[in-house]
Structure 1
Amino acid sequence: MLSLLPPARLRAAVSPDVTASAPRRPAVILPGLGNNTADYARLAAALRDDHGVPAVAVARVSRPDWLRNAAGLVDPSYWRCTLRPRPVLDWYLKRVDEAVSEARELSPNEGISLIGHSAGGWLARVYMEEFDASDISLLLTLGTPHLPPPKGAPGVIDQTRGLLTYVEKNCAPAVYTPELRYVCIAGRYIQGAPLTGNTIATTDEILAVDTPSDVAEAVMVSTKDKPTQSGPTLRARFIGQGYKQVCGRADVWGDGVVPEVSAHLEGALNISFDGVYHSPVGSDDEQRPWYGSPAILKQWG
């Protein structure tokens, strides 16, 4: 299991037993929508070579594989926005199961860590519900849209056609215990903006929150100086429309694809990294790092 402890800049209400040092365990990476296995080769190598993870398997997915999801178009539930993950996504869940089996063979008798990027995070929750998850001790999600968009929000269409509603209602809630840890990482790369209007919400900083329970809740405070904007850019307006389809609001922070508020789960250890972009595709380790870039990976814990 990856030993993911809160970075020094985070405050979290976590019991001592939960944050005790743990050995590294094999990991399985679940690719995000539109990504392929090769997109995570550098991350897998860094986990093995630089961070002591004994074995890393990446679910075998190609970009054309995602066209299989078009099978959902013939399902009436797609048009009613009540689509279920199975059987439409059985092909993906099978690839995950094969990768988990590979990790078990490479490091037998050890627990498994699942690392889900983007849609791979909520698909990991489906996998844990439908397959043997008895030895999974960590679910780490990177820029995953966990929450369905609010119903009835003007101009918002559920892009998952009900899949996230199903996950929210039918998958086990997030926990952070010695036996099983949910860690949800969000990025604060750019703040979106509405299509019209000349002002955006001034939410450059989000303060850490302590909770009275053993559940870990933590977010990062931005330490970068940001120039005062006279008004939102065209790019911010464009990205804001993407955020709106996910969470119902355009004027929020996110990683350029997934809003920060959608990438966190109640009950998990929630972490936000400033300046982190959504995907390995189009990222740059220096100017536009993604969740798996070396400098960010070091902050996982």
Structure 2
Amino acid sequence: MPLPTVILPGYLAGAIDYREMQQTLIDLGIPAVTVPLVKRDWLPTLGGRSVLPILDKLDRTVQEIRQTYNTEKINLIGHSAGGWISRIYLGAKAYDIHGRVSDRVYSWQAHQFVSTLITLGTPQTSYERWTLKNLNFVNLTYPGAFYPEVKYVCIAGKSIFGVRRVGSWLAYSSYQLTGGRGDTWGDGITPIEAAHLEGAENLTYENVSHSPRSRGKWYGSAEIVQQWATYLN
């Protein structure tokens, strides 16, 4: 039986946006649940603040699914910011860059029970000042495909080339903030280069956009899920 899989939504997204992704995995015979987030759960993280509220909900969901299926290992899917937050979750070093308060967990060491981490359109780098503190922690503490016992699969979309004109300006600006260069290919939010990690299985899917509200296909469209689900061994 395939390992159960947990889906972590992207920034400001709720579980409702991942219903098709989750159901497609279930239809493929892969038990799947989405971390039960709603948009307001992200509000305490705005402005580059700590993502502890999201990590706490992620850990509760992971432990519940491990108990439900009586399994040591699970697979983890992180869309957009959910990908780098998942990399924090895997780690053994305390995530305390925003200061500590009592009775909180700051290190989850989930590399022990995550078999495969798939990131979808995740900005693994950023020059944007609000996200720089968190991403610097991730990339300096856990560079690349850090844990050899975890299979890292990083998927980028190639649907929009960033140029300074109407219809592509958002992509250009987002690519520049994320990867340092606007005139490149990406999924409309994350440039291809920024979505990949050294040492990971790095893939690029043609005509795939970033958001569940994008026109056309995105990472959670059924035909795209069927492609990356083959890595969930």
Aligned ranges 1:61-140 → 2 under 5 Å:
61-70=37-46, 88-129=50-91, 130-133=107-110, 134-140=112-118
SS at structure 2 position matched to 1:174:
coil
1:250 and 2:182 are equivalent in the alignment: yes
Q: Which residue of 2 aligns with 1:192?
A: 162
Equivalent pair of 2:90/2:108 in contact (CA under 8 Å): yes
Distance 2:161 2:130 in 1: 21
Contiguous gaps of at least 5 residues in structure 1: 1-22, 150-156, 196-232
Assess if the C-alpha contact under 8 Å between 1:185 and 1:272 holds in 2: yes
Structure-2 residue corresponding to 1:5: none
Counterpart check, 1:268 vs 2:230: no
Structure 2 letter corresponding to 1:185: I
Other structure's SS at 1:160 match? helix
Aligned AA (2:136)? T
The match for 2:139 among 160, 168, 172 is 168
**Offset, 1:141:** 0.2
**1:64 maps to amino acid:** R
Please list, as runs of the form range in 1=range in 2, the aligned pairs for 1:177-188 lying within 5 A after superposition.
179-188=149-158
C-alpha displacement at 1:176, in angstroms? 8.6
- Matched AA of 1:289: K
SS at match of 2:167: helix
RMSD: 1.8
Report the CA distance shift for 1:176/1:190 in structure 2 as closer, same or farther (over 3 A).
farther
Tell me: CA distance 1:172–1:239, structure 2 relative to 1, closer, same or farther (3 Å).
closer
Which of the pair has the greater relative contact order for Cα pairs under 8 Å at 6+ separation? 1
- Tell me the secondary structure at the aligned position of residue 116 of structure 1: strand
Displaced runs of 4+ in structure 1, greater than 4 A?
Answer: none
CA 1:69–1:298 in 2, change beyond 3 Å: closer, same or farther?
A: same
Question: Residues 228-271 of structure 1, C-alpha deviation per residue, up to 9 Å, x if partnerless?
Answer: xxxxx422233201210111101010101111110000000000
- With structure 1 as the length reference, what TM-score do the two structures score? 0.67
Aligned equivalent of 1:290: 218
| SS of match in other structure, 1:234 | coil
Greater fraction helix: 2
Q: Check conservation: 2:9, 2:37, Cα contact below 8 A.
A: yes
Contact kept, 8 Å, 1:190 with 1:256, in 2: the verdict is: yes
Is this contact kept in 2: 1:239–1:256, CA < 8 A? yes
Aligned counterpart, 1:220 = none
Q: Is the 8 A contact 2:20 2:222 kept in 1?
A: no
5+ residue gaps, structure 2:
92-106
